[in-house]
A and B are shown apart, each in its own frame.
Chain A
Amino acid sequence: MIHRECGVLKTTYQADMALYPLPIARWTVAVLAVLFFTLIPLTLHEYYLSVANLVWVAVVGALGLNILVGYTGQVSIGHGAFMSVGAYTAANLATRLGSPWPVNLLAGGLMAALVGAVVGIPSLRIKGLYLAIATLAGQLIIEWTINHVTFISGGVQASIEVPRPRLGSMVLTSQRDMYYFLLVFVVLAVVGSMNLVRSRVGRAFIAIRDHDIAAEIIGINIFGYKVLAFAISSFYAGVTGVLYTYFLGIANYEQFQITVSIDYLAMIIIGGLGSVLGSIFGAIFVTLLPIVIRYAMEAFGGIFFSQQTVLNLIPNLRLMLFGALIIFFLIVEPEGLNRLWRNIRNYFRVWPFAY
């Protein structure tokens, strides 16, 4: 956020390590909390909340993937499958045992963490593109398993309907209920990863990303931390899968295919690798941009073309514009939207007295 840090002196280590080092940052957080917890859900139409909900689901997934790719430097094209592991674990628990959603959520995350850790084992020996292919294999194996093992997928249709989450006697059905439901986990995920990356574990991740041999020499257990990174990241993915399942009311095989993995990779690359805020920006950008472009086309497309042509043109032009904008943003700032935001912030830090 844009804060002037003039005159703030830190006298203890604790103050230096605080999540919000400036007093004004607390106010910013408070304002954001009021905005997201009361103003937005209470004033906007359900439709906008449904869009926000899609963003929230994407934010949790992107945060998780960024821990692995951005902070630890291990590429994964298997996150769509890790989400499906979480989703089907939760769906099976919910329909077979009738367990409540907090249990399912945790179980889904843990199961995904376990599977993710196993898929991450080859990361000790292989790096970069080779590791990407190994995780791709993980994606395909998990997809195949869910497709063929009816014990997991709940029948040949490979879809399991899940009852809506309950909070006491209240059943969360409307988009507004879902908004709060998802927002709580977004906050947990954001605070969790902010704390993770400044902890001992997070610093070990960053050391491995920057130079793994050097990291090993200073005493970091590379294998342990790499697998841990896969596990934590997959835990996030699993939770995303469970949240998505509860949001839609169904776990379906075709919701977690390889394109989903690639969409999430696009989010963190556009948002900024190795930054929490970047994951959030990326998730918002990739989810909202197509919608915004469509609204623009609907509003202005009719001026230039006939109705039938517009209908054919909108989706195609939207894809082209989407691609062009991604290239544009990456050329302007290869380090992603997060860096762009920091540049803006740095400019205003000393504004108007820049030297």
Chain B
Amino acid sequence: MRHYLVIVTALIVAAGGLLSGAPAHAQSKGEIVVGVQCDRTGATQIVGTVLCPGFHDYIALVNSKGGVEGYKIRALEIDHEYKVPPAVESYERHKKEGAVTIAVYGTPQIYALAQRLTEDRIPGTSPGFGSAAAADGQRYPYIFPIAATYWSQGTAAVDFVKKQLGGSLKGKKIAYIFYDNPAGREPIEVLEDLSAKEGFQLKTFAVPPPGVEMGAQVLDIAQRYRADFVIAHLFGGAPAVSIKELKRVGYPLRKVVSFVWGSAEANIDAAGGFAVAEGYYTMQFAGVGTDYPVLNEIREMYKKEGKPAPKEMDSTVFYNRGVLIAALHVEAIRNALKAKPDGKITGADAKAGFEKISNFTLGGLVPPLKITPADHEGGGLVQIWQVKGGKFVKVTDWYAAYTDVVAKHIKEAAAKK
């Protein structure tokens, strides 16, 4: 009998020691599944190969610290090559595995899944892509842009140009060069509104897919139209071409501001490096650079495992966006678990969780979004960073502009359907 007592006491002490020594390995109560779509091999692999590792690293970090409210998160990634049928298959697979949130990847994919997400009551996120009208939470209850839409990016760009040109746009000439697809044309109506409101001249220059030939458009902007500022909204390889062409015709890059998909290290590198793109302004919906506490924690996590930090971390723009998306998903799940501590959360709970996200900044990497049942965009906040001296330098803090104009367009889009 005494022997047993000794053994039991010893076991309890040992277990206690283990628990206090490694609180991170506290008993996990279960797991919550998050569906992740990715494109590592298709048209947008330049983004996917960096963004998705960022997503997984953040989830791994959360799990290494004991998960969310004691629950581990399993991020199930499926690559869809930027095609729609595999995206449908991947969505159904995620649903089968019991995913409570789904990080959708790609504009055609979020369109194709919009109706299913709503019917199945699973929130899907479309950060930085998809329809700007989806910011309307009443109209699209289960779609969460969670980052500045193209409309918000358009208004933010005009506001930035206004400040750069000395506070007034009256009589100024702005050129809008865009990839000629629905996503590229989406902001035009907002820009036209602002042109009437602020009194500037707007001329649009379409770049036909695949966006590698824009010599004529750029020459027109620089020498015939003589734009005072250029707003660029290009994808894939096109931003790099635009930088090279503008440089070639001698247009100053400090008079160019690019939307969020032409603003990463990869785009600058493809254009010939940071020295070539000196002065180029970029718009961002996640913080840029390596100097954030959460990124240090991820590096620490790798160090503890005895591994070097992944090379994807060097491409900070896309990597940080991956971290941002993961963090917002985790936050939504955290809010849902707080409301339902038994852990039996559904997509509807996660939706409510998304709608409670407010002032969650992750040390500056995430803008202070305020997502509400009506506003699934969270305010449409962006930062402008400039290419300067071999790196991105922050020019503005988080801001949104002409929110009334964006709201008007969202309302009109909702009324149309």
Partner-B contacts on A (CB < 8 A): 45-47, 50-51, 54, 57-58, 147, 153, 155-159, 161, 164, 173, 175, 248-250, 252-255, 259, 287, 290-291, 294, 308, 311-312, 314-316, 318-319
Contact = CB atoms under 8 A, between A and B. Distances in A.
27 contacts: A50-B88, A51-B89, A54-B85, A54-B89, A147-B180, A147-B182, A156-B186, A157-B131, A159-B111, A159-B131, A161-B115, A248-B112, A249-B115, A250-B114, A250-B115, A252-B111, A253-B181, A254-B107, A255-B84, A259-B83, A287-B85, A291-B89, A308-B56, A311-B38, A311-B40, A315-B41, A318-B41
Interface stretch (B92-100, B156-164, B354-362, B394-402): B92-100
Contact of B119 (A147, A157, A173, A311): A173
Contact count band on B: 35 or more
B112 A255 contact: yes
Interface stretch (B74-82, B275-283, B364-372): B74-82
Contact of B112 (A50, A156, A252, A318): A252
Contacts of B79: 294, 314-315, 318
Q: Which 3 A-B pairs have the closest CB atoms?
A: A249-B115, A315-B79, A254-B108
B388 interface: no
Given A161-B114, A255-B108, A311-B38, 16 more contacts: A47-B93, A47-B96, A54-B89, A147-B180, A156-B182, A157-B186, A161-B417, A250-B111, A250-B112, A250-B115, A254-B108, A254-B111, A254-B182, A311-B53, A312-B40, A318-B79
Interface of B: 38, 40-41, 49, 52-53, 56, 77-79, 81, 83-86, 88-89, 92-93, 95-96, 107-108, 111-116, 119, 131, 133, 180-182, 185-186, 188-189, 310, 416-417
A83 to B, nearest CB: 12
Contacts of B416: 155
A314 B40 CA distance: 9
A314 B83 CA distance: 16
- Main secondary structure on A side of the interface with B: helix
B403 to A, nearest CB: 21
Nearest to A156: B185
Contacts of B49: 312
A51 B92 contact: yes
B78 A47 contact: no
Given A248-B115, A255-B112, A316-B41, A158 B95 contact: no
A54 B111 contact: no
Q: In the complex, which of the residues B79, B119, B416, B417 has the most CB atoms of chain A within 10 Å of its own CB atom?
A: B79
Contacts of B56: 308, 311
Contacts of B182: 147, 153, 156-159, 253-254
Contacts of A156: 182, 185-186, 188-189
